Amino acid sequence: MFDLLPTAYILTIFPMLMIFAAVGDIISMKITNHLVLLVVASFYVGAILIGMPLETILVHTAVGIGFFLLGFILHIIGISGGGDIKLLSAILLWVGPYHADYLILFTLLYGGAVVILSLWLKNIPMNHFMLKNSAWMRTIASDGKFVPYGIAICAGALTTYTNTIWFEKLNDLPIS
C-alpha cells in the first residue's frame, strides 16, 4: 500500500480546488484570490510531501511567474480577465513546463465549448423560471462579454493533471 498522506494529497487536493474554482466561477463569475492562494500554497505543500527536488520547484515557480507576467499584459490590454490569469498561473505551478502546452491546448478547446454554450444561452428567452431567477444566467445572457472561462481553465487543468509529475511520483512512493 502507498504511503497514504502523499497519495491522498495527490489524488484529492488539486482536483478539489479545480472543482471549487469552476463552480465558483459559474455561480459568481469570479475567481477569488483566496482560492488562487490555496492553489499556490497547496503546490508547495504537495512538493514537500512528495520530496520534489528544489530545482524542480524553482522551475515550476518560474513558469507560474512567467505566465503571470505575460497574463498581466493580456489583462491590461483587455484580452483576458484578471482572475483567469491568476488561476492559470497558479495551475501552471502544478503542471510545470513539460505539460504547460497541454494545459493551454485543452483550456482553449474547452474554452471554445464554453463560449459556444454561452452564446447559445444568450439567445434563450429569459421567461423560463429557472433562467429568470438565476443571477449567473442573467449575467451570461446580458449584452456584456462575460464568459465563465474558469470552467474551461479547470477542465483543461484536470485533463492535463493526470499526465504530470504528480502521477509519476505515485509510482515512486514507498510501499508500506
Please say if the pLDDT value at position 123 is more than 80.
Answer: no
Pick the range with the lowest mean pLDDT from 24-33, 95-104, 109-118, 135-144.
Answer: 135-144
Looking at the chain, the whole-number percentage of residues with pLDDT higher than 90 is 53
Query: Is 2 in a helix, a strand, or coil?
Result: strand
Distance CA(173)–CA(176), nearest Å, equals 9
Q: What is the pLDDT at residue 143?
A: 58
Please say if the pLDDT value at position 2 is more than 60.
Answer: no
CB atoms within 10 A of CB 132: 12
Q: Measured on CA atoms in the order 105, 109, 111, 115, is the torsion positive or negative? A: positive
Q: Which domain holds residue 60?
A: 4-172
DSSP letter for 142, please: S
Please say if the pLDDT value at position 76 is more than 80.
Answer: yes
Model confidence band, residue 134 (pLDDT cutoffs 50, 70, 90): low
Model confidence band, residue 1 (pLDDT cutoffs 50, 70, 90): very low
Q: What is the pLDDT at residue 173?
A: 60
What global pTM score does this model have?
0.86
Model confidence band, residue 119 (pLDDT cutoffs 50, 70, 90): confident
HSE on the CB side for 45, CA within 13 Å? 14
What domain count does the chain have? 1
For the segment 110-139, the average pLDDT, to the nearest whole number, is 72
Long-range contacts of 48-57 (CB under 8 A, 24+ apart): 49/5, 49/6, 49/9, 50/6, 50/10, 50/166, 50/169, 50/173, 52/165, 52/169, 56/96, 56/165
Fill in the amino acid letter for 45: V
Q: What is the pLDDT at residue 80?
A: 83
Q: Identify whether the C-beta of residue 37 lies closer than 8 Å to the C-beta of residue 91.
A: no
| More confident: 128 or 46 | 46
Average pLDDT of the chain is 85
